[in-house]
Amino acid sequence: MAELESCYRTGQLARALGVSSYQIRRLAETGSIEAEYSGKQWRIPARELERLRRDGVPEIPANTGEAQSPLPRPKPASASPAPGLVAEPSPDVVAAHEEADITAQQVEIRRHKVEGLKLHKEAVELGDFFRARRLDREQAAADQQAWVDTQARAERAQQEAIRAEQRRREWMNGWLAFALDAPNTRWRWEWSAARGQVEVEAAIHDEVLPILEKTSSDEPDHVVKPLVLAAVERVIGRWQRGNETQQILTSAGTDWLPYAARGTRTELSIWQVRSIEAADAAMRGLRADASIEELRCVAKAAAGKIVAEFGHIQTCEKLVSDLRAQIQGATADELEAAQKEVRTALAGLPLTASQHDRERARDGAIAGLRQRIAARAAGREAEQARIAAEEARQSEARLKLTNLLSLVYEDIGDKLVFEGFRDGFFDRWNSAEKLERKIRPLLLQELLHDADLSAAQIGKRVSALVDAHLDVALAA
């Protein structure tokens, strides 16, 4: 048998071949492989491992019983019998005895072999348990160390990222400070005068920051500096253009408008708002690179249209307000209707209409009203003439009646004397006055009806009236 150090145990050989240790032990017990039992365990030489790798591991034989090796026959007995024997032993008895001894020995060997196998199994299993526990502990320790190493690397990476972020932040802050200090003193003075320094600095910050965020902090200064200065120039250009644009809009709302179109200090008029909006829309319609002079020209032209509209409306309103002086004799309702018609007529005129065109439109709108007023005036004049003629006729009739009524007193006196009244003068006078008041309206009505009555006719009529009303007058 080979030396101990060149032999394998059943468990080692089983792991090397990738089979179970039970199969190796059974092969050793049945003699299928070369092995030596030392009383505690089987030992297999290294050359047997090479053979099994080359030829393959055989299957466990179906008959696992112990092979019965033939025992050597005993030599023939001597002629003299053994001591204590009455005769020579029979060969069959001797063979049976020997066979019984051999069987007992084999049973003992088997028992010892089984106990050894059990102990070997327990030893192997215990060794495997402690080896597995050791391996588990080593693996746990390795895993713990790996976790610690991973945590340490992560912490180092995090610290390095924080330091890198801090360096980049300091780099960006440095360039932002440079950008804010880049404009010269003249620009800063203009900002302060316009109260826009804070807004411009904020705009510079917002313009430069995206550029720095897209730029690596490893770039050299001669690469970063032009980018920052270009951003600053863009902001300053926009600020200057916006400031000049605002000045143009201010002029559109104040200087370019008539004083009457402007509002108060606290509130803009509708004309100021429209002028500013028109100027702003005109400037927005130009290309982005238009000059300030171009912006001013288009804004002033747009504001000029608003000024022309304001002048047109003011002139039209003045024509409307002057209607009261233009059409005297109109009623309040007629004047209101005429104002509406004039406004409608003037609204149809273009803004470029002349004053003559506006007056002609006004006169056309109120022509009908003027005709009606003239007709009414002519009617009033005719009526006044008729009234004057009537008053003249009545005045003449009264004057004639006054001159002729003196006949009443004479006629009354005669008739009173004729009737036998001898009263005094005053009684006759009172009776004559009463009669006069009675017949005056009647006689005046007749004179007005027929102004051509002669004095003789009037005298006859007076006498007739005196006769008709004398009794009434005397009774009163």
371 inside domain:
no
> 57: closest CA among 29, 18, 30, 31?
18
Q: Which carries the bigger pLDDT value, residue 295 or residue 457?
A: 295
- Confirm whether 415 is domain-assigned: yes
Domain count, the chain: 1
Confirm whether 440 is domain-assigned.
Answer: yes
Q: What is the pLDDT of residue 192?
A: 53
Identify the pLDDT of residue 273.
92
Q: Which two tokens stand for residue 382?
A: 């005719």
Q: What tokens appear for 154 in the block?
A: 């992560």
Which residues make beta-bridge pairs with 44? 8
The confidence band for 78, taking pLDDT boundaries of 50, 70 and 90, is very low
Smallest Cα–Cα separation from 433: which of 460, 406, 468? Answer: 406
Of the candidates 339, 342, 396, 347, the one whose C-alpha atom is nearest the C-alpha of residue 364 is 342
Whole-angstrom Cα distance, residue 239 to residue 241? 5
Asked, for residue 422, whether it belongs to a domain, the answer is yes
Amino acid at the residue 191: W
Question: What's the pLDDT at 425?
Answer: 52
Say if 199 falls within a structural domain.
Answer: no
pLDDT, tens only, 80-96: 454 555 556 555 565 56
Residue 11, pLDDT > 70, answer: yes
Report if residue 456 sits inside a domain. Answer: yes
> Does some domain include residue 417?
yes
Check: CB of residue 209 under 8 Å from CB of residue 249: no
How far apart are the C-alpha atoms of 175 and 327, rounded to whole Å? 79
**Residue 290, pLDDT score:** 86
pTM assigned to the model: 0.43
Span 142-155, mean pLDDT? 91
- Structural domain includes residue 363: no
| Per-chain mean pLDDT for the chain | 78
| DSSP assignment string, 366-421 | HHHHHHHHHHHHHHHHHHHHHHHHHHHHHHHHHHHHHHHTHHHHHHHHHHHHHHT-
Higher pLDDT pick, 432 / 167: 167
pLDDT of 423 over the 80 cut: no
| Mean pLDDT along residues 100-118 | 76
Span 332-352, average pLDDT: 85
Distances (CA, A) of 42 to 19, 122, 123: 16, 14, 13
Triad 130, 133, 139: Cα angle to 5°? 140
pLDDT category at 71 given cuts 50, 70, 90 is very low
Quick check: 392 pLDDT over 50? yes
The pLDDT tens digits for 202-227 are 888 898 999 999 998 888 999 999 99
pLDDT of residue 152: 92
Q: Look up the domain containing 431 and give its range.
A: 405-475
Residue 379 pLDDT: 87
